[in-house]
């Protein structure tokens, strides 16, 4: 079966700066493929090449079996695209904007636009320039999904959307997959990709540093822990926890009569929970670190020190 998307040693150079260092990847038709990586990793550049907004310096790209450089308007009618930096201006209403794109990329099933607008609770009667960022993003989603194209290329599609609408969006992706559409989705939020994608490629500084099935990647295995213990002393806590992550010992300090623990843990969470259970746990917070930290930690060439467990969100 021809891959929906096939990139072979794709490079993009902007003057002396290299945005993509030879990307090779393949997306199976009918799957949801996630492209994740920190901001500036090259996700947007890659997706723009696929719709021929920018042209690669070298290497080849094939989208639905066709080179985007030669596929032209006919190829792009078969793609739904949400730009990474969606901006909309003008006096025209959302409905008129969608009607315009329907007329150049259609056909669109009758009632489809209204159905999507209702699901995403998007008011189509207002001029687009008066819309909030979230509402513009909804219009961006509608224009990509409305003509039910075989391929959806979505660059940070949920940015600016509230959690309820994000869930609705995941529903749309799920349905698209069931209809046999292929979805390529980029994000810098790991959990979004974990919920939606079958396969993932992790991009860092213009290179793919990991790829495979979502569950096989160990990205989700890095967690940050913050715990507040009472009836404990710092040395005992340190002795109990240090064996669990010898590479990055936990930060343990006393404050008044409490002990505060910051730790970063890889792998199973159970030993840590059991170790903490020996003390009286007043508070426990377990969270995903940001993607950049995970990528650097697990796949970065220079896995720099992670001595700032509370740095960043």
Count the Cβ atoms, other than its own, within 10 Å of residue 3.
17
- Tell me which residues in 127-146 interact with other proteins (CB under 8 A): 143
Cβ proximity to other proteins: between 81 and 169 the closer is: 81
Classified as helix, coil or strand, 300 is coil
| Smallest separation, CB 81 to other proteins (Å) | 4
Q: Which residue's CB is nearer to other proteins, number 93 or number 245?
A: 93
Considering only residues 5, 88, 190, 272, which one is a binding residue for other proteins as defined by CB under 8 A? 88
Pairing assessment for the beta strands 5-14 and 58-63 based on DSSP bridges: antiparallel
Q: Output the six-digit token pair for 104.
A: 């150049």
* Shortest Å, Cβ 52 to other proteins: 7
Q: Out of 58, 65, 67, 90, which residue is the one contacting other proteins (CB under 8 A)?
A: 90
Phi, psi angles (nearest 5°) of residue 251: -95, 120
Specify the residue, 128 or 217, whose C-beta has the smaller distance to other proteins: 128
| Sole window of 29-37, 77-85, 157-165, 183-191 interacting with other proteins (rule: CB under 8 A) | 77-85
CB of 144 to other proteins, least distance (A): 9
- DSSP structure string for 24-74: EEEE-TT-EEEEE-STTSSHHHHHHHHTTSS--SEEEEEETTB-HHHHHHH
Site for other proteins in 141-170 (CB under 8 A): 143
CB of 79 to other proteins, least distance (A): 7
Query: Is there binding between residue 91 and other proteins (CB under 8 A)?
Result: yes
- Of 74-82, 185-193, 202-210, 224-232: span binding other proteins (CB under 8 A): 74-82
Judged by CB under 8 A, does residue 94 bind other proteins? no
CA distance 131 to 151: 27
> Alpha-carbon torsion 163, 165, 168, 170, what sign?
negative
Q: In 10 A of CB 152, how many CB atoms? A: 25
Cβ partners under 8 Å of residue 4, min gap 6:
27, 28, 29, 30, 31, 63, 64, 150, 151, 182, 184
Q: Determine if 111 is a binding residue for other proteins (CB under 8 A).
A: no
- Alpha helix positions (H), 225-303: 234-241, 270-276, 291-299
Among 46, 105, 137, 204, interactor with other proteins by CB under 8 A: 105
By CB under 8 A, tell whether 54 contacts other proteins: yes
DSSP 231: S
Q: Which of 7, 52, 131, 188 binds other proteins (CB under 8 A)?
A: 52
Residue ranges in 220-279 that form contacts with other proteins under rule CB under 8 A: none
Are residues 88 and 128 in contact, defined by beta-carbon separation less than 8 angstroms? yes
Is 67 a binding residue for other proteins by CB under 8 A? The answer is no
User: Shortest Cβ distance from residue 269 to other proteins (Å)?
Assistant: 42
Residue 127 vs 249, nearer CB to other proteins = 127
Which of 8, 104, 268, 274 binds other proteins (CB under 8 A)? It is 104
Nearest to 170 by CA among 125, 127, 183: 183
**Binding residues vs other proteins (CB under 8 A):** 48, 51-55, 72-74, 76-77, 79, 81, 83, 85-92, 100-107, 143
């Amino acid at each position: 079966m021809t891959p929906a998307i096939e990139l072979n040693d794709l490079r993009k150079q902007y003057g002396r700066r290299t945005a993509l260092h030879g990307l090779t990847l393949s997306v199976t038709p009918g799957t949801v493929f996630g492209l994740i990586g920190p901001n500036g990793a090259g996700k947007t550049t890659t997706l723009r090449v696929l719709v021929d907004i920018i042209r690669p310096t070298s290497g080849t790209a094939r989208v639905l079996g066709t080179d985007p450089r030669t596929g032209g308007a006919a190829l792009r009618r078969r793609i739904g695209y949400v730009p990474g930096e969606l901006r909309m201006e003008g006096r025209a209403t959302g409905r008129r904007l969608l009607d315009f794109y329907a007329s150049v990329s259609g056909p669109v099933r009758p009632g489809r636009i209204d159905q999507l607008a209702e699901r995403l609770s998007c008011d189509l009667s207002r001029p687009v320039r008066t819309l909030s960022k979230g509402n513009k993003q909804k219009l961006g989603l509608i224009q990509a999904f409305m003509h039910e194209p075989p391929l959806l290329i979505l660059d940070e599609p949920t940015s600016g959307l509230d959690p309820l609408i994000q869930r609705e969006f995941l529903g749309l992706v799920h349905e698209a997959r069931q209809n046999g559409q292929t979805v390529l989705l980029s994000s810098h939020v790991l959990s979004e990709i974990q919920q939606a994608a079958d396969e993932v490629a992790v991009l860092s500084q213009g290179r793919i540093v990991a790829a495979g099935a979502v569950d096989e990647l160990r990205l989700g295995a890095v967690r940050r822990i913050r715990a507040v213990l009472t009836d404990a002393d710092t040395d005992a806590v340190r002795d109990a926890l240090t064996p669990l992550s010898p590479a990055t010992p936990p930060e343990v300090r006393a404050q008044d009569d409490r002990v505060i623990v910051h730790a970063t843990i890889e792998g199973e969470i159970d030993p840590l929970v059991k170790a903490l259970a020996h003390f009286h746990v007043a508070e426990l917070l377990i969270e995903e670190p940001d993607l950049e930290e995970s990528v650097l930690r697990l796949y970065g060439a220079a896995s720099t020190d992670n001595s700032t467990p509370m740095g960043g969100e």
